[in-house]
A = this chain, B = another copy of it.
Amino acid sequence: ADLFREARELITSNAQVYINRLAEAVAIQSVSTDLSKRNACFQMADLLNQWIEDLGGKSEKVLVGFQELDDGQRFDLPPVILAEFKEEGKEKPTVLVYGHYDVQPANKADGWSSDPFTLTEKNEMLYGRGSTDDKGPILAWLWAIEVYREMELELPVNIKFCLEGMEESNSECLADLLHRESRSDGFLVGVNYIVITDNYWITTNRPCLTYGTRGVASFECEVRGGSQALHSGVYGGCIAEPMTDLIQLLAAVSNGGHGNIDISGCRKEDCEPLDDDEKDLYEGISFDTDQFRKEAGNVPSLVGDTATEVLMNRWRYPSLSFHGIEGAYSGHGLKTIIPGSVIGKFSMRLVPGQDSKKVEEEVEKVLRERFSQLKSSNELRITSSSSEAWLANPKSPLYQAGASALLKVHGIRPDFTREGGSIPITGTLQKILKVETMLLPLGASDDGAHSENEKIGKKNYIQAVHTLFVLLEEIDRIHQ
């Protein structure tokens, strides 16, 4: 308890230093999707590398591949930082921390109130691109280690970092590296726990631990007719229009209406049954459905009558969304064209119990069966890809360590939550290393990770340092 208080005082007194360093990191425009900013990605890796070495860590920047433009120009992918804090000769558990130092694009003109790459404090919030996704959280890890150094204490656990710079660009080439490093004497060998701090609370003021994410199966359903758009006056009635086909195909997929998908392997009864333990987790969650409804663009109503039902629809049941159509007219007003070829885009969120490959097959079957009924002379092409849902055991020791750390710092037991979206790295790492994995969000639901005016609460950022400091102790405790 003394240790806990001492650390808190030290962290509080260091607050401005932590903020200044976050400002330094935010100022580096490490936008991985923008090749003209590739140098900034390398600069950001250098800064992290320097900080890690200053703290006594061993850090390596690993090049994993390159991107090539049509004109043959090549760009190295931003390096993956593989770093380690380890005292030789001591038997300690090893925690792998994953994070990313690249950020989403940002332009002041998109609606930012302040320059996105200048960390700006306003009403106790720190605004800037990357402040919460994911520079703030990875910096908090470093300062938690620094607290141990400043207090002249040994780290209670060994820590490995995997910090990538391509997360916002599909983590290109990362999985290959992870596979390689998990073999024989690779970097990932010996990891006991995985902690990922790259998601968010489900409210603005209450910490949570995340034990599941949905998977996703994405579909592009193309109906190919002719090579060009045609005038509907001149050609309407004498050609088989691809849009007419596509609409019937999409309608066949969504047959079940809102909140129900009527396709084998995608129905509610195909999901893992709800047991009492899981039900209990939902009962405790503080979740304001009306607030959520308003945040969702003030939709007329939610699917689900209670907070629990809404959250279950969001986390533990599959969903189907139609995103749009490529190749059709999408502008304002009327344009009487017959599109030549069109691609319908939709995806399903998947949950434990569903086999993502089987889902891809079943959806394709529905599309092909409907298409054959249409007797169309057009051509149907379907492409799909998928990732599985991920689910951890919230009763496992790692989650108890996380809950204990949050309780100590915030004074409340965290909610145990899931994510409706996918965080593919979670499943990838767990599959490769086969160790307990925990998602520990440090930012609030309204941080606006990919939006304009992204921010992290000043209090959240500082408390994150404290939380991670305590978490290392707690992990040490569960491991004994």
Contacts from A to B (Cβ < 8 Å): 214, 216, 218, 220, 225-241, 243-244, 247-248, 250-251, 254, 257-259, 292, 296-304, 310-311, 313-314, 317-326, 328-332, 334-340, 345, 347, 349, 374-379, 419-422
| Across-interface contacts of A377 in B (CB, < 8 A) | 299-301
> B334 to A232, Cβ gap below 8 A?
no
The 14 listed contacts between A and B (C-beta, < 8 Å) are: A216-B336, A225-B300, A226-B299, A227-B298, A230-B297, A236-B349, A239-B303, A240-B299, A240-B300, A244-B320, A244-B321, A247-B254, A258-B374, A324-B337
**Given contact pairs A232-B349, A254-B248, A321 touches B338 in the complex (Cβ within 8 A):** yes
Q: Which of B227, B243, B323, B334 contacts A337 (CB 8 A)?
A: B323
Return the chain B residue nearest A323 by Cβ: B329
Return the chain B residue nearest A331 by Cβ: B326
Instruction: Identify the interface centre among A229, A239, A241, A329: most chain B CB within 10 Å of its CB.
Output: A239
Measured CB to CB, the closest approach of chain B to A418, in angstroms, equals 11
| Across-interface contacts of A229 in B (CB, < 8 A) | 297
The 4 A-B pairs of least Cβ separation, nearest first, read: A233-B421, A226-B297, A237-B319, A324-B328
In the assembly, what is the distance between CA of A323 and CA of B325, in Å?
11
Measured CB to CB, the closest approach of chain B to A110, in angstroms, equals 14
Give 6 new A-B contacts, CB below 8 A, not counting A225-B300, A238-B420.
A226-B297, A237-B303, A238-B303, A239-B296, A240-B299, A323-B334
Return the chain B residue nearest A449 by Cβ: B231
**Given contact pairs A300-B378, A321-B243, A237 touches B420 in the complex (Cβ within 8 A):** yes
In the assembly, what is the distance between CA of A378 and CA of B300, in Å?
6
> A234 to B324, Cβ gap below 8 A?
no
Q: Which of B226, B244, B300, B311 contacts A258 (CB 8 A)?
A: B244
| Across-interface contacts of A304 in B (CB, < 8 A) | 238
| Across-interface contacts of A236 in B (CB, < 8 A) | 314, 319-321, 349, 420
In the assembly, what is the distance between CA of A85 and CA of B161, in Å?
90
| Across-interface contacts of A322 in B (CB, < 8 A) | 241, 243-244, 247, 328
| Across-interface contacts of A292 in B (CB, < 8 A) | 238
Measured CB to CB, the closest approach of chain B to A247, in angstroms, equals 5
Measured CB to CB, the closest approach of chain B to A383, in angstroms, equals 10
In the assembly, what is the distance between CA of A244 and CA of B320, in Å?
9
In the assembly, what is the distance between CA of A318 and CA of B226, in Å?
21
Measured CB to CB, the closest approach of chain B to A133, in angstroms, equals 13
> B318 to A237, Cβ gap below 8 A?
yes
In the assembly, what is the distance between CA of A317 and CA of B240, in Å?
15
> B320 to A218, Cβ gap below 8 A?
no
In the assembly, what is the distance between CA of A319 and CA of B240, in Å?
11
In the assembly, what is the distance between CA of A239 and CA of B259, in Å?
8
| Across-interface contacts of A235 in B (CB, < 8 A) | 296, 314, 420
> B321 to A326, Cβ gap below 8 A?
no
Measured CB to CB, the closest approach of chain B to A443, in angstroms, equals 14
| Across-interface contacts of A230 in B (CB, < 8 A) | 296-297
> B237 to A317, Cβ gap below 8 A?
yes
Measured CB to CB, the closest approach of chain B to A236, in angstroms, equals 4
In the assembly, what is the distance between CA of A214 and CA of B232, in Å?
11
In the assembly, what is the distance between CA of A250 and CA of B259, in Å?
20
Measured CB to CB, the closest approach of chain B to A371, in angstroms, equals 12
**Given contact pairs A296-B230, A297-B226, A345-B329, A310 touches B238 in the complex (Cβ within 8 A):** yes
> B239 to A299, Cβ gap below 8 A?
yes
| Across-interface contacts of A231 in B (CB, < 8 A) | 421
In the assembly, what is the distance between CA of A60 and CA of B379, in Å?
56
**Given contact pairs A335-B323, A378-B300, A244 touches B254 in the complex (Cβ within 8 A):** yes
| Across-interface contacts of A240 in B (CB, < 8 A) | 258, 299-301, 303
Return the chain B residue nearest A260 by Cβ: B237
In the assembly, what is the distance between CA of A443 and CA of B474, in Å?
85
Q: Which of B238, B251, B336, B375 contacts A347 (CB 8 A)?
A: B336
Return the chain B residue nearest A227 by Cβ: B297
